[in-house]
Amino acid sequence: MSEADTLSRKAEFPGLITPDGARWHYLDTAATAQKPQAVIDAVTRALGRDYATVHRGVYCRSAEMTLAYEAARRRVAEFLGARSENEVVFVRGATEGINLVAQSWGAANISAGDCIMLSQLEHHSNIVPWQMLAERVGAEIDFCPLTVDGRIDLDAMETILTERHKIVALAHVSNVLGSILDVRRAANLAHSVGAKILLDGCQAAPRMPLDITGLDCDFFVFSGHKIYGPTGIGVLWAREELLESMPPWQGGGSMINRVAFEGTTYAPPPQRFEAGTPMIAEAIGLRAAVDYVEAIGLERLFRHESGLAADARAALRRINSITLFGPEESAGIVSFVMEGVHPHDLGTILDEENVAIRAGHHCAQPLMGCLGIPATARASFGLYSDESDIEALIRGIERAKRIFAT
């Protein structure tokens, strides 16, 4: 993306301006992305003149809303490169998607003595649901170590994996280090011992082209709010025959075939996993977000954001009190610490300069333990980020250095 291009994009994001009209250097897109006006408008319309329930009403508005909701599902399926829209389950977010897989597929397929393979860089959302399952059924969890530059070490995984492993669940892109998983190899390794593979795609879906069928994975999850869409909506993708084999995990309206006092038969997927009134306006907002990023092109977004991350690393490396983490090739996410300045203090000083970074453990406390630090500062880029955001970051860091030197 050219400079002019990103500058014109910034104007489409009302959230990138401070209340007093200044430019806000938002470098926390990995936590949640700002929303383009097109998404805000789509949600407003869905909650306004188009609003009605789905899958129930006999009146025209409801039938139209049902079509729009199901069109959103088809759009997401197409975006992911899925074979069918029946492979797309709408959930509240990636966290709910992983909990669904753990509680439905996991409880039916993992039992005492089985193993679950995670990695040391996983987000808490891809650790805790598996720990809860492991505790319930008596399974064990292995955490694949990382390479020195912060990638999941697949050579190590190859030596650890056994036929006791039933599932391998890994971040496609690390939310702390920006490291990118070699998905094909990870999927091959998992399948070679008969395990399924789940990808936590929270940071990959907004940043790189996906071809879910070609990646040969079994489950994929992501959150709408990290791909410029609303909160409260996310996607679980799974191969259709896998979804068909899975028991429901929540009961209620919409997920049934027929309910009687004697018992209930369940709807086929994806409805089987969408109990209750779904996130209607949120699904329509997600569709608008998918339209938005695809109109720019994911290939182009990847080049743009990984280019900014490389520039930020180069600029940070010139400051002698900074230590960088993660591999040189990062998908738009840079973690670092500054000698003598706690990341929280750095975050506060940068906030005074209208620069928003994340400081803390980034919901990856086990990873912080591996790195031997309690917290990092993290700058993460989005499609609206540009060099001016990096310059503001560096200015703020230089100021923090002066403050802490005195």
Residues 133-172 that bind ligand PLP (CB under 6 A): 171
Helix or strand (DSSP H, E) at 38: helix 37-47
In the complex with ligand PLP, which residue's Cβ is closer, 124 or 164? 124
Q: Which stretch binds ligand PLP (CB under 6 A): 7-15, 187-195, 197-205, 381-389?
A: 197-205
The nearest distance, CB 177 to ligand PLP, in angstroms, is 11
Query: For residue 36, is the peptide bond before it cis, meaning its omega torsion is within 30 degrees of 0?
Result: no
Residue in 119, 179, 223, 335 binding ligand PLP, rule: CB under 6 A: 223
CB of 50 to ligand PLP, least distance (A): 26
Is residue 94 part of the contact set for ligand PLP (CB under 6 A)? yes
Dist CA 167 CA 19 (whole Å): 47
Rule CB under 6 A: choose which of 29, 119, 175, 330 binds ligand PLP.
175
Q: Which of 333, 298, 385, 299 is nearest to 121 (CA)?
A: 333
Supply the minimum distance, in Å, between the C-beta of residue 124 and ligand PLP: 8
Q: Which part of the chain contacts ligand PLP (CB under 6 A), choosing from 195-203, 285-293, 325-333, 372-380?
A: 195-203
Site string for ligand PLP, 60-79 (x = CB under 6 A): --------------------
| Neighbouring residues of 367: CB distance < 8 A, sequence distance ≥ 6 | 120, 121, 122, 176, 177, 361
200 makes contact with ligand PLP (CB under 6 A): yes
Asked about 60 being catalytic, the answer comes back as: no
Residue 200 token pair: 């936590």
Q: How many whole angstroms separate alpha carbon 245 and alpha carbon 82? A: 18
Q: Which stretch binds ligand PLP (CB under 6 A): 63-71, 143-151, 200-208, 250-258?
A: 200-208
Q: Can residue 386 be called a binding residue for ligand PLP (CB under 6 A)?
A: no
In this chain, which stretch among 93-101, 141-149, 280-288, 315-323 interacts with ligand PLP, using CB under 6 A? 93-101
Judged by CB under 6 A, the residue of 95, 119, 306, 385 near ligand PLP is: 95
Size of the site for ligand PLP (CB under 6 A): 13
Q: How far is CA 189 from the centre of its chain?
A: 23
Report the distance separating Cα 258 and Cα 240, nearest Å: 22
With a CB cutoff of 8 Å and minimum separation 6, the contacts of 11 are none
Chain length of the chain: 406
Closest CA to 18 of 379, 389, 353, 383: 353
Cα–Cα distance between 30 and 13 in angstroms, integer? Answer: 16
Q: Given candidates 34, 203, 380, 385, which one binds ligand PLP under the rule CB under 6 A?
A: 203
Residue of 144, 202, 363, 370 marked active site: 363
Min dist CB 125 to ligand PLP, Å, is 4
| 143, 155, 189, 215, 263 from 165: Cα distances, Å | 12, 16, 11, 20, 35
Q: CA dist 400 to 314, 354, 391, 392, Å?
A: 19, 14, 14, 12
Kindly state whether residue 312 participates in binding ligand PLP, applying the rule CB under 6 A: no
Provide long-range contacts, Cβ within 8 A and 24+ apart, for 74-78. Answer: 75/287, 75/290, 75/291, 76/235, 76/286, 76/287, 76/290, 77/237
Give dist(CA 355, CA 357) in Å, integer.
6
Nearer to ligand PLP by C-beta: 9 or 123? 123
> Where does this chain touch ligand PLP (CB under 6 A) — which range of 89-97, 137-145, 157-165, 244-252?
89-97
CB of 21 to ligand PLP, least distance (A): 30
Q: Are 257 and 235 in contact (CB under 8 A)?
A: no
Contacting ligand PLP (CB under 6 A), which of 202, 289, 341, 393? 202
> CB of residue 93 vs ligand PLP: minimum separation in angstroms?
3
Subset of 98-127 contacting ligand PLP (CB under 6 A): 123, 125-126
At its nearest, how many Å lie between ligand PLP and the CB of residue 200?
5
**Shortest Å, Cβ 344 to ligand PLP:** 20
Nearer to ligand PLP, 332 or 347 (CB): 332
φ, ψ (nearest 5 deg) of residue 252 = 160, -160
For ligand PLP, the binding residues (CB under 6 A) are: 93-95, 123, 125-126, 171, 175, 200, 202-203, 223, 226
Q: Which residues are catalytic?
A: 363
